[in-house]
Chains A and B, each alone.
Chain A
């Protein structure tokens, strides 16, 4: 039996496999990649809390917006990447030539890195990690490889991109006219934009509560959880099972203070309306009550702008100890929160005390805090 011949570049007859289509969809995909990369970079540096980089505490909801955008742009990049791959699919069957080897190599890197990046990024929003490598480090390194391969790809294709940047009319239609096949280029663009919008609208509700009811493909509902707020790491997962009756909170600075929960409750309380905004893209605003960190610093004789180490009672995990940069400690919105949405903190939200600060990722809003150490 003779096997059918493999397809060649000419086997694909649709006039939509065209450089103009690739240029337009490529532009959209590139925009999504740039937004995703920059917001991802921001998230990376915010989480690093390195001494040399000063992240502003305002706007208070900045991280909520950037991380929501990060996950949104990544999600809508899925249909855009598929549309782009479909458009240029015939090229996969072009005869291999030595001079195009570098070009094809860079495209292989780009496609592999981008497809894996979107795949693991999306599964991370479900907190599902079926792969044998660490998510955060791989996701970050792949991002640089994608941007690098994309720049090489743009450089190689620059003449083609330039000549198809604006609409051109083909003198000779290459295949069946659109009247017969029913899909014009503009029709294709509309359909792809529609697919991206559909995916966006059905997932964005996890960060934008207005769209909550239609967020049928979102891994989170922002108002589901104890006290109307979702949880990433439960008290059980963190190994915090019960809080002893003689629990005490300590702060070490120029003076050492040790306070019971009742004594903490007796200090002047402040209110902050701040969101929990998670790296997985979901976010939800909440009303917090507690003691300003700068008031606590004042009590122990430290200046408001001090670098503070926050120590949690949680066991294991990367964020049992975090650092609060000086501008965050001094911000009047930053609290050692004792109450959430009108009630005492639920154990899953960090009872008896947690940090809540503006413009910070959820992983750094440390829960079950029992110690603050003034570092400088």
Chain B
């Protein structure tokens, strides 16, 4: 209990220090608009990004109930997740492509690089998918040929 009380005391102290710093360094007009941004990111997280992940996860799980799909669902899910997270990180780069403060900021061709990255992720995902499926077919053919080792 002592630990928890100490944690809460320090937590509130640090938090208030942060609020004080904020009040010191931001002008009233900026302080008024800051909560809009804080609220905006919560909406983006809790009502856009996470529901999207939940929805896609639900669809993938539903699809995985189909015959033999549970063997390959791992590859499908991981590929979708990796494509999603790298695209999320890439969005600001794609939006600001060519608009860097000077030519050394954002010097890459981000559209090409992003497409290459996604193609690589999907390519690797497909290879894993095919391997997982062929293992399945192999097992089945061994099982049907009466091989005890197969299932």
**Chain A interfacial positions (CB closer than 8 Å to B):** 12, 14, 75, 78-79, 81-82, 85-86, 89, 92, 106, 108-109, 111-113, 115-116, 119, 122-123, 126-128, 131-134, 137-138, 140-156, 158, 179-183, 187, 191, 194-195, 198-199, 202-203, 216-221, 224-225, 230-232, 234, 237, 348
Contacts and interface: CB of A to CB of B under 8 A. Distances in A.
A321 B19 CA distance: 29
A231 B102 contact: yes
Given A78-B88, A152-B15, A183-B74, A158 B7 contact: yes
B39 A138 contact: no
B105 A127 contact: yes
A126 B93 CA distance: 8
- The 8 A-B residue pairs with the shortest CB-CB distance, nearest first, are A148-B15, A144-B18, A151-B11, A148-B14, A145-B18, A155-B7, A137-B25, A152-B11
Given A144-B14, A144-B21, A179 B70 contact: yes
B96 A85 contact: no
B18 A142 contact: yes
A116 B38 contact: yes
A122 B41 CA distance: 14
A108 B38 CA distance: 10
Contacts of B22: 137-138, 141-142, 145
Interface of B: 3-5, 7-8, 10-19, 21-22, 25-26, 29-30, 33-34, 37-39, 41-42, 44-46, 49-50, 53-54, 57, 61, 64-65, 70, 73-74, 77-78, 81-82, 85-86, 88-90, 92-93, 96, 99-108, 110, 113-114, 116-117, 121
Given A126-B106, A179-B70, A195-B82, 5 more contacts: A14-B57, A14-B61, A86-B53, A148-B16, A198-B82
Given A149-B11, A194-B78, A195-B82, A216 B116 contact: yes
Given A112-B39, A182-B77, A198-B86, A85 B50 contact: yes
Given A86-B53, A133-B26, A148-B16, A126 B8 contact: no
A261 B45 CA distance: 56
B54 A12 contact: yes
Contact of A111 (B13, B33, B46): B46
Contact of A132 (B17, B33, B78): B33
A149 B15 contact: yes
B17 A180 contact: no
A82 B85 CA distance: 9
Contact of B107 (A78, A112, A181, A220): A220
